[in-house]
């Protein structure tokens, strides 16, 4: 396809309650949207790395500037016949995977609209309902955490993720498992441990966890292989998986038994599908992770989660709990009567099935730029 124009939007969406970050509490979700046009049709993409460089080296304002100053001018007026072709045009720019993801996901939405197919079908999805789970960070007390998990399990979410932090660690997991002995449960360490914490990791074997996510720093694939060899509990890699090459190396080293794929972190749907396929070839299951984002990014992630090797419930942030206002209608989650669990229902409309409401986009837009041929 010939890319006619690209518009970039830096957006601040009001949160229902402040999020605690290393930079302080924030009351707006900063994210970046891209509108890509070709032949009278438009596709939408999103990258939501956060308001500051905490979860990765990128942040929303930086992504906005990177796309507008460097990436979009490289694409506008040029042909991009596949996701791989688009990434080849951007290959001269190092890193900046969230920025590339915003463009890549917009290309895929545009491509799906041209083909008049829902995005999940174009990606080769095998299901139209997605198992979903929720996560919980540190709270004021264990009792508050247990009450929140109780509400989630009553609602029917398929699994629970617990952030594992200093002072909020083994005793917290023990209390949760005692209260919820059969629920699907895993912990996310976010690279906070070292090989010197093996005794703690062995203690976690007692709690029948579905996985331990990212126990060591992201660059230590060999260390993760050593940990995985010593544990029965599966290791899941998240921050370590930023490229197809990193995924291939982790699979070769047997550093994990699960991979969490975040489309933004790896550069979009094109590399996400390649990582999914490489993991499937090695019989390593995957699941779709997410950052807090608008309905645009949520739909992109759920479309990806329809592929066959995404066998663990996907991340899901209920919009009615996270955002005071969203840019478009989020996918609907409801209890599936047959399974008795919450599932997100995919759509039948082309692409991601929605576009941002123009009035809300204008209202919450911090900055915008258009690149045209």
Q: Which residues of 325-352 are buried (b: 16+ CB within 10 A; e: fewer)?
A: ebbbebbebeeeeeeebbbbebbeebbb
Q: Which residues of 31-42 are buried (b: 16+ CB within 10 A; e: fewer)?
A: bbbbbbbbeebb
Q: List the catalytic residue out of 28, 100, 129, 262.
A: 262
Residues 226 and 216: beta-carbon distance below 8 Å: no
| Secondary structure (DSSP) of 84-102 | HHHHHHHTTS-S-HHHHHH
| 3-state SS class at 52 | coil
Element (H, E) at 48: none
Beta strands (DSSP E) in 22-97 are 24-38, 41-47
Q: List the catalytic residue out of 78, 117, 163, 254.
A: 163
Torsion of CA 42, 55, 191, 16, to 10 degrees: -90
Can 100 be counted among the known catalytic residues? no
Cα distance between residue 262 and residue 265, in whole Å: 5
* Angle, in degrees to the nearest 10, between helices 97-115 and 269-281: 90
Cα distance between residue 98 and residue 236, in whole Å: 21
Using the structure block, give the residue that is written with the tokens 């996985």.
Answer: 211
Can 17 be counted among the known catalytic residues? no
> Which residue numbers are catalytic?
163, 262
């Amino acid at each position: 396809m010939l890319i006619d124009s690209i518009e970039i939007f830096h957006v601040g969406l009001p949160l229902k309650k402040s999020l605690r970050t290393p930079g302080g509490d924030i009351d707006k979700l900063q994210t970046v949207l891209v509108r890509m046009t070709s032949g009278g049709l438009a596709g939408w993409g999103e990258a939501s790395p956060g308001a500051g460089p905490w979860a990765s080296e990128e942040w929303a304002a930086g992504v906005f500037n990177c796309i507008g100053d460097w990436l979009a001018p490289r694409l506008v007026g040029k042909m991009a016949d596949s996701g791989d072709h688009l990434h080849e045009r951007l290959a001269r720019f190092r890193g900046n995977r969230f920025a590339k993801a915003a463009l890549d996901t917009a290309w895929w939405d545009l491509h799906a609209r041209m083909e008049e197919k829902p995005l999940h079908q174009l990606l080769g999805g095998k299901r139209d309902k997605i198992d979903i789970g929720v996560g919980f960070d540190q709270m004021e007390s264990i009792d508050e955490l247990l009450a929140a998990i109780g509400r989630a399990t009553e609602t029917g979410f398929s699994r629970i993720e617990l952030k594992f932090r200093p002072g909020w660690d083994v005793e917290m997991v023990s209390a949760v498992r005692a209260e919820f002995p059969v629920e699907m449960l895993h912990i996310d360490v976010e690279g906070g441990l070292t090989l010197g914490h093996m005794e703690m990791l062995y203690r976690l074997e007692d709690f029948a966890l579905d996985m331990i996510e990212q126990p060591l720093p992201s660059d230590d694939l060999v260390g993760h292989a050593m940990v995985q060899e010593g544990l029965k509990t599966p290791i899941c890699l998240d921050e370590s998986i930023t490229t197809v090459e990193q995924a291939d190396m982790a699979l070769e080293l047997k550093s994990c038994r699960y991979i969490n794929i975040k489309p933004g972190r790896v550069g979009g749907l094109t590399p996400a599908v390649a990582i999914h396929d490489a993991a499937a070839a090695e019989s390593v299951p995957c699941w779709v992770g997410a950052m807090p984002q608008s309905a645009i990014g949520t739909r992109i992630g759920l479309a990806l989660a329809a592929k066959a090797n995404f066998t663990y419930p996907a991340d899901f942030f209920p919009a009615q709990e996270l955002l005071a206002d969203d840019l478009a209608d989020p996918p609907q989650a409801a209890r599936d009567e047959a399974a008795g669990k919450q599932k997100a229902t995919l759509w039948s409309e082309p692409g991601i099935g929605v576009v941002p409401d123009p009035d809300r986009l204008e209202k919450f837009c911090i900055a915008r730029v258009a690149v045209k041929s």
